[in-house]
Homo-oligomer: A and B are copies of this chain.
């Protein structure tokens, strides 16, 4: 039951005679006859019967023929899918990101790809940077949106390469009725030494980043509230329970009662990058992420 033999049967059905089928397949009639005999033995059925000078297909041959046509069609689809995959019209990818990376970069990028690359299937998983990176070489992930992080692989890492997506400053989120709310800039080390701080959980990149920034500014923030979710943090700010710093661009929706104020230079920044396996080449996904990142950088306040 090989495809070659099934195609010989199909050719015989289409062309009527063994000789015509042989011509169409660039074979001799004898070869066609022999292969059909093998197919009949494999199928344990009589496929041909004499009819006049030629042959005709038996009912059993027609049963087989229906399936042979379906198989040929499916094989053609397989070839088409392989070609489509080669030039990027179809594909699958697993992407990871931390929450604000998913919301700010991955989701908009996938929304574009849904229209421009309808054949692609994407799966999104939430991981922090240090969890995501080892999953790339293991092929559990195809792309990870990561943040500036001590675990980041060196630029010449043999298996992972990094593509910058967005470089954005953190800003101070204050209650709208806060004394500093009217200021053009805020200097945490001077203005917010006594503030209550809201911070993401230890182990996240933002946590480390805040502490480092405050340390460099020469003071120890009083950490009072903890939530991993920027939305929840801002709700706490709006309720007047403290202040926090959040990335400027990845949080487009501010709740009422919260204002963002730039931080006096050098403001802490976070750098978002796309990590992919080295040598993977350009993908529609990476292109879309870079486009979204560039648009966000352009839209936001420069610096």
Binding site for B on A (CB under 8 A): 1-4, 43-45, 51, 56, 59-60, 62-64, 67-68, 70-71, 74-75, 77-79, 81-83, 85-86, 90-92, 139
- Contact between B43 and A63, CB atoms less than 8 A apart: no
Closest to A56 in B: B139
Contact A85 B59, CB 8 Å, known A1-B3, A1-B75, A75-B1: yes
- Contact between B75 and A74, CB atoms less than 8 A apart: no
- Contact between A64 and B45, CB atoms less than 8 A apart: no
What separation, in Å, do the CA atoms of A85 and B44 have in the docked complex? 11
Closest to A75 in B: B1
What separation, in Å, do the CA atoms of A249 and B83 have in the docked complex? 66
Q: Which residues of B contact A85 (CB under 8 A)?
A: 45, 59-60, 63
Contact A67 B63, CB 8 Å, known A2-B2, A82-B45, A86-B45: no
Contact A78 B92, CB 8 Å, known A3-B2, A59-B85: no
What separation, in Å, do the CA atoms of A229 and B90 have in the docked complex? 62
Q: Which residues of B contact A43 (CB under 8 A)?
A: 79, 82
- Contact between B3 and A59, CB atoms less than 8 A apart: no
Contact A78 B63, CB 8 Å, known A45-B85, A71-B71: yes
What separation, in Å, do the CA atoms of A90 and B59 have in the docked complex? 11
Chain B: minimal CB distance from A143 (Å): 13
Q: Which residues of B contact A74 (CB under 8 A)?
A: 67, 70-71, 74
Closest to A49 in B: B139
- Contact between B139 and A92, CB atoms less than 8 A apart: no
What separation, in Å, do the CA atoms of A101 and B4 have in the docked complex? 46
What separation, in Å, do the CA atoms of A2 and B92 have in the docked complex? 26
Q: Which residues of B contact A78 (CB under 8 A)?
A: 1, 63-64, 67-68
Q: Which residues of B contact A92 (CB under 8 A)?
A: 59, 62
Contact pick for A81, options B56, B67, B77, B79, CB 8 Å = B67
Contact A67 B77, CB 8 Å, known A44-B86, A82-B43: yes
Chain B: minimal CB distance from A295 (Å): 29
Contact A75 B82, CB 8 Å, known A2-B2, A139-B56: no
CB<8 Å pairs between A and B, sample of 20: A1-B78, A1-B79, A2-B2, A3-B3, A43-B79, A44-B86, A45-B86, A56-B139, A60-B85, A60-B86, A62-B92, A63-B81, A63-B85, A64-B82, A67-B74, A67-B78, A67-B81, A71-B74, A71-B75, A74-B74
Closest to A43 in B: B82
Chain B: minimal CB distance from A178 (Å): 52
What separation, in Å, do the CA atoms of A51 and B159 have in the docked complex? 13
Q: Which residues of B contact A77 (CB under 8 A)?
A: 67
